[in-house]
Amino acid sequence: MILIAEIIVSLFLIGGSLFALVGTLGLYRLRDTMQRMHAPTKATTLGVGGILIASMLYSLLVKGEVSFHEILIALFLLLTAPITANFIAKVYIQGNMHRDDLPETSAAHGWAVYDDPPSQPRK
């Protein structure tokens, strides 16, 4: 029984670390900044999720305790990864692209990098 639990935990550990390694090697391998932004924000977050699942299973199956700290860390990482990617894309657009290269937005206001934010109506 303990052997099966250890095999499951080891599978999650190795799978998670392989995902994270592939995501981080994408940071080395891909050509453009906009391409490079995809690898770490998705694959590495998924790899850390695998490590967190392995940690929860280890404390549940091997040590016999239920632990909920990992869910907090996983939720926080999954919530903050898109915000980080959005900010990094904004930094790249502001530094490397001209205003004419970008397509028109379909909203009433333009790109948030160049235009001022729309003024809020006063109540």
Partner 1 sequence: MIGFALVFAFASFGIGLLVTLWRIVVGPDSADRILALDTMVINVIAMILIYGIWIGSHVYFEAALLIALVGFVSTVAYCRFILRGDIIE
Residues in touch with partner 1 (CB under 8 A) = 3, 6-7, 9-10, 13-14, 16-18, 20-21, 23-25, 27-28, 33, 36-37, 40-41, 44-45, 47-48, 51-52, 54-55, 58-59, 63, 67, 69-70, 72-73, 76-77, 80, 83-84, 87-92, 94-96, 113
Task: Name the minimum Å distance from CB 13 to partner 1.
Answer: 4
DSSP 2: H
Q: In Å, how far are 6, 31, 63, 117, 120 from 123, measured between CA atoms? A: 60, 49, 57, 18, 9
Q: Looking at beta carbons only, is 29 or 105 nearer to partner 1?
A: 29
Q: How far apart are the first and last CA of the chain?
A: 65
The DSSP secondary-structure symbol of 62 reads: I
Could you tell me the smallest distance in angstroms from the CB atom of residue 103 to partner 1? 20
Tokens of 7: 């095999």
